[in-house]
Amino acid sequence: MQLRREDPSALDLSLGRLRQLPEPTVSRMMASLRSKGQLSPLTVAEHEGRLMLVDGFVRHLAAQRLGLETLLVEVVQLSVVQMKAQVYLRNRERGLLLIEECRLVRELVEVDHLSQVEVGDLVERHKSWVCRRLSLSRQVSSHLLDDLALGLLGEGSLRKLAQLPTRNQEELWAVAQRDGLGSRDTGDLAELWQRAPNPESRGFLLAHPREALERARKKPVPPVDPRLGEAAQELVAGLVSMRRLCLRLLRRLRDGLGELPPEGVTQIVHVRAQAEEDSRLLLAEVSAWTVKASGGER
C-alpha cells in the first residue's frame, strides 16, 4: 500500500461507468470537504501507466467541483477484474444501488467472461444473488434502466415491471408517468397486468389505472353469521384458528424437535409459560362470558 497526493484530473475514471453519483450525495460530500477536509484516501490501482480510480468517485467529483488541486490516494495492486470487484466490496457496508449491482454483475459476466459462480466468489455473494441481478439487467428495458439511474423509477417498481415483456414494461411505465403514480401504485399496476385475463382488461388498466387500482384494493366484505354478529364471529374464528394451531404444533412436537442445546430448551420453557398464561386467561374470560350470557346456567 502506498499513500501519495495526486491531481484529481490525472486519475482514470473508466470504472465510473459502474457507479451512480446522486446529486444530494455529492452535495453532502462537498459540504464535508469544505468543513472537515479529506478524511480518507481514494483508492486507485495502476494499469497501463495510469492510475484508475477504484473507490471514492463521490469524493472525487465533489473535490473537482470545489477546485481542489490534489487528493490523497492509496495505490493498490489489482487486476482489472479485481478492481471491479473492489468497487462493490469497498462499498458493501453502505450498500450500492440496485442499478450499480446490475451493471457490475453484467460487466463481469459479459465483458470479463466470468461464470456466475466465479462472480459470486469474487464479490463474496451467493450465486443466486448474482443470478437475480444478471436476469434483472437483461430483462429490463434500457429506457427503464435509464430512468432508474435518474431516480425517476423506484427499485421495487423496477423489479415488478421486469417480470413483464419489454414492450409492456415501457407501456405501463409511460402510463405511470402520465398519471403520476407512485412506486407502490406502479408495482401494483404491473401485478394487475399479469393477472388480467384478456386484452380488454389490460386496455382498461392503461386507460384508467387509478380506478383499476382502487377497485382491486377494495376488500370484499365477509359474510356475517346472523347468530353471532361481527364481533362474536371474530372471536369464534380466532378460537378455531387457535385450535388448529394447537393441533399442528402437537403433531410437530410428536414428530420430534431434534437435538437442542440447553439454551434452546430454556427458550421453549419460557415461551410455553407465556403461552399457557395468555391462553388460560383468554379461555377463562370466554367461559365467564358464556356463563353470564346464558343466565348462569353453565
Q: What is the mean pLDDT of the segment spanning 144-163?
A: 85
Question: 20-34, 107-121, 137-151, 238-252: which has the minimum mean pLDDT?
Answer: 137-151
pLDDT higher than 90, residue 221: no
Question: 39-48, 215-224, 245-254: which has the minimum mean pLDDT?
Answer: 215-224
Residue 39: predicted pLDDT: 92
Q: How sure is the predictor about 147, in pLDDT bands with cuts at 50, 70 and 90? A: confident
Q: How sure is the predictor about 190, in pLDDT bands with cuts at 50, 70 and 90? A: very high
Select the more confidently predicted residue: 140 or 62. Answer: 62
* Amino acid letter, residue 145: L
Residue 1: predicted pLDDT: 67
pLDDT higher than 90, residue 119: yes
Kindly report, residue by residue over 34-90, the tens digit of the pLDDT.
999 999 999 999 999 999 999 999 999 999 999 999 999 999 999 999 999 999 999
Cell representation of residue 157: 417498481
**HSE-CB for 244 with a 13 A CA cutoff:** 6
Give CA–CA dist 18/266, Å, rounded: 50
Give the Cα-Cα-Cα angle 219, 220, 223 (nearest 5 degrees): 140
44 forms beta bridges with 53, 75
Give CA–CA dist 104/85, Å, rounded: 8
Select the more confidently predicted residue: 107 or 221. Answer: 107
Task: Determine what percent of the chain is predicted with pLDDT higher than 90.
Answer: 66
Q: What is the mean pLDDT of the segment spanning 215-219?
A: 86
pLDDT higher than 90, residue 8: yes
Contacts of 78 (CB under 8 A, 6+ apart): 45, 54, 86
Q: How sure is the predictor about 220, in pLDDT bands with cuts at 50, 70 and 90? A: confident
Task: Determine what percent of the chain is predicted with pLDDT higher than 70.
Answer: 99
**HSE-CB for 289 with a 13 A CA cutoff:** 8
Cell representation of residue 212: 383499476
Residue 297: predicted pLDDT: 56
Q: What is the pTM of this model?
A: 0.62
Kindly report, residue by residue over 278-296, the tens digit of the pLDDT.
999 999 999 999 888 887 6
Give the domains, in start order, of the chain with CATH numbers: 1-96 (3.90.1530.10), 140-217 (no CATH)
Burial (CB count <10 Å: 0-12, 13-18, 19+), residue 136: buried
Select the more confidently predicted residue: 273 or 294. Answer: 273
